[in-house]
Amino acid sequence: MILDILQDEQYIGTYTAGKTRMADIGSGKVVKVDKADWIRIPNHHPTIIDPALFEAVKIRIGTKGEPLRKRKLGTSERYKDMRSVLQGRVFCGCCGHKMKLSATRNAAFHCDVTRVASDAECYRLKMLGGELEKAVLGCVKKHARYIIKSAGDGSNQSEPSAGFDTQFRQIEKKKLALYERYVLREISAEEYKAAKSGLDAEFERMKNAHAILSKEAEKSASVEGFRQIADDSIKAKTLTQPIVDELIDKVKVSTGGRIEIVWKMQHFGSAVLQGSMQTFE
């Protein structure tokens, strides 16, 4: 009905008649008349739609309304060059199989293995390639910033532990002070647990950063190579192939938008994104 309205010439002031006729006299059967044989009277009444706009819409309808089966190239052929820097590294977090990137305009990683198994946990599991790349880059940047910040200015490259001991002691003091406040009933059990959980998480992240620098220091007298990778990751506007090749071994996608990254560099850290892919665990 909408398409008929958009193509009705009466809206541009043309009176049209004779669109149908009786198939046979007395039969009661009505048939359509060829458009070329319609009765048309231009400028019969005031226009509602500008004729130029009407013609433009008609051309657009003819283009958009072309059936897929009549197009010269199918979807998979038109988007056959669709690529992602994560291709080959994305796996289903439920069944463990490698996920394929679809050849579509909005390319997404799909778990094809269980696509027809409606009872499987990963039935029709998919994630848009662009969203996955953004989420992974955000995770890489977060860890890179933290590690560079924890490492300081690099003046003590021969001693990876320099600076960390002080930070470890500060966290321990905060935890002790927090416990004393709890014992003195200045804070509730829930407040104590929440604050302690935050300090524990901070301590773990610092341990991971320390482990990275220690690991790299064993292999080389300098950690400048690692610093450069972290710097490049922070400056990157999009996830690039070099960043993926250097840091990422696998990306596991599970239901609910949950993403787990398996790092190439041991102790680089672990991150899990959930839901809207903005919340880190």
In this predicted model, what pLDDT tens digit does every residue of 111-148 receive, in sequence order? Answer: 888 777 888 888 888 899 999 999 999 988 888 887 77
SS3 216: helix
Distance, CA of 32 to CA of 21 (rounded, Å):
7
Task: Confirm if 223 and 216 have CB atoms less than 8 A apart.
Answer: yes
0.75 surpassed by pTM: no
- The interaxial angle of helices 224-235 and 129-151, nearest 10 deg, is 140
Distance, CA of 265 to CA of 281 (rounded, Å):
20
SS3 184: coil
Distance, CA of 165 to CA of 209 (rounded, Å):
12
Of 86, 82, 81, residue with least CA distance to 98 = 86
Q: Summarize pLDDT for 8-32 with one digit per residue, the tens.
A: 889 999 998 888 888 887 777 888 8
pLDDT tier, 79 (very low <50, low <70, confident <90, very high otherwise): low
Distance, CA of 173 to CA of 151 (rounded, Å):
21
Question: 145 or 224: whose pLDDT is higher?
Answer: 145
